[in-house]
Amino acid sequence: MTTRKPKIPKDGQRVSLSMLAEYLDLSPATVSFVLNNVPGRSIPPVTRERVKAAARKFGYRPNLIARSLQGCATRTIGVLLPELGEGYHAGVMSGVGELLMKEGYFYFTAHHRHRPDLIEEYPRMLMARGVDGILAIDTKLPAKMPLPTVSVAGHATIADVTNVMLDHHKAAQLALGHLHELGHRRIAFMQGQPFSSDSQSRWRATLLVARSLGLEVTPELTIKLDQDMTSPELGYPGITQLLQKHRNFTAVLCFNDISAIGAIRALHDGGLSVPGDVSVLGFDDIQSASYHVPSLTTIRQPLNSIGSTAASLLLRKLAGEALPAIVKIAPELMVRESTATAAKR
């Protein structure tokens, strides 16, 4: 009676490397060498073919879990973001996911609602699950990351973390330049919520460019957003309150398209026409921007390419490449109906 190993060569279900090896009367090592095309191992073509044929026959697929345990790359990325299902993040994620899947990577998504404890905890949990690297979107990262990391719209400069961000200075130039050309001089501004990463850099760029164009930024005409929401309601109350005091502005530079839609609504409800009385400039170019009535003039953030750029940078970092600290993405001015020549009032 021959000694029977516990493994059965062929099965109804999943085949392991050793089952395959036993079936082929080879050692698991040899099979592994063939299937992975390991160089420097001499295995005759006959055997190679036999192995490959058997692998095909049984539909063998390496168990990635086992492979990971060896310390191999898992081809898995952890993505950190504040929120799911919202315009900006969804747009970036679309680019991220597209590129990662194309490159044969899978990814975990973890959302943290800006909670510092979760932001601290998730990288460790992702590490325990063996991700190769982390992609953080609009996230206030801790000073030290345990894994190779690339951030999108990062809140701070962190050692060894490449930050992909919009070129805010250029964005401000496009936005204010456009309004200035149309003759607007009294402009209302929206300042983003303090927890949103872009707020500060964008506001700084706005002030800088406004000064260079000789445009005044006054506190009375500045709306400070503070609610953590992703509906147009965001932009409504600020404009409504503003209208109760001042009606002498001719344009509003909104923080984003969502708030611009709310702003238009508020102006409309306040009896003002857009762009007849007031021009409204959005930011982001979300999908419905071009189909809104009036369609939104806006600064387009190429969310998809921001996402794919970030993902591609992370993969390059994983491959050992040295990366710059900051990569800026150029915005684009989309002129539509919500802006027009300044009304003479």
Residues that bind DNA (CB under 7 A): 6, 14, 16-18, 25-30, 32-33, 35-36, 38, 41-44, 47, 60-63, 65-67, 69-72
Q: CB of residue 124 vs a copy of itself: minimum separation in angstroms?
A: 6
| Closer residue to a copy of itself in complex, CB, 98/177 | 98
**Judged by CB under 8 A, does residue 69 bind a copy of itself?**
yes
| Closer residue to a copy of itself in complex, CB, 85/219 | 85
**Judged by CB under 8 A, does residue 66 bind a copy of itself?**
yes
Q: CB of residue 115 vs DNA: minimum separation in angstroms?
A: 26
| Exposed / middle / buried, residue 192 (Cβ in 10 Å: 0-12, 13-18, 19+) | buried
Asked if residues 164 and 108 have their Cβ atoms less than 8 Å apart, the reply is no
| Closer residue to DNA in complex, CB, 69/335 | 69
- Beta carbons within 8 Å of 15's beta carbon, 6+ residues apart: 58, 59, 60
**Judged by CB under 8 A, does residue 62 bind a copy of itself?**
yes
Phi and psi of 133, rounded to 5°?
-160, 175
Number of residues that bind a copy of itself (CB under 8 A): 52
Closest CA to 148 of 212, 219, 74, 217: 74
Asked if residues 24 and 7 have their Cβ atoms less than 8 Å apart, the reply is no
Quick one: how far is CA 141 from the chain centroid?
15
| Closer residue to DNA in complex, CB, 24/164 | 24
For 275-291, give the DSSP string.
TTT-EEEEEE--GGGGG
Residues 139-198 that bind a copy of itself (CB under 8 A): none
Residue 109 contact among a copy of itself, DNA, none, beta carbon within 5 to 8 Å by kind = a copy of itself
**Judged by CB under 8 A, does residue 29 bind a copy of itself?**
no
Which residues, listed in sequence order, are joined to residue 282 by a DSSP beta bridge?
A: 298
Q: Which of 17, 31, 51, 93 binds a copy of itself (CB under 8 A)?
A: 93
Calpha distance 152→133 (Å, rounded): 14
Residues 280-319 that bind a copy of itself (CB under 8 A): 286-288, 290-293, 303-304
What's the Cα-to-Cα distance from 248 to each of 11, 55, 209, rounded to whole Å? 79, 75, 22
| Closer residue to DNA in complex, CB, 35/213 | 35
Residue 240 contact among a copy of itself, DNA, none, beta carbon within 5 to 8 Å by kind = none
Q: CB of residue 137 vs a copy of itself: minimum separation in angstroms?
A: 12
Calpha distance 209→214 (Å, rounded): 8
What's the Cα-to-Cα distance from 85 to each of 76, 109, 135, 202, rounded to whole Å? 22, 12, 17, 23
The CB density around residue 61, as the number of other CB atoms within 10 Å, is: 10
Residue window 238-277: x/- pattern of binding to a copy of itself, with contact defined by CB under 8 A: --------------------x--xx-xx--x---------
Q: CB of residue 302 vs a copy of itself: minimum separation in angstroms?
A: 13
- Beta carbons within 8 Å of 17's beta carbon, 6+ residues apart: 28, 31, 32, 60, 62
Residue 90 contact among DNA, a copy of itself, none, beta carbon within 5 to 8 Å by kind = a copy of itself
Residues 116-135 that bind a copy of itself (CB under 8 A): 124-126, 128-130
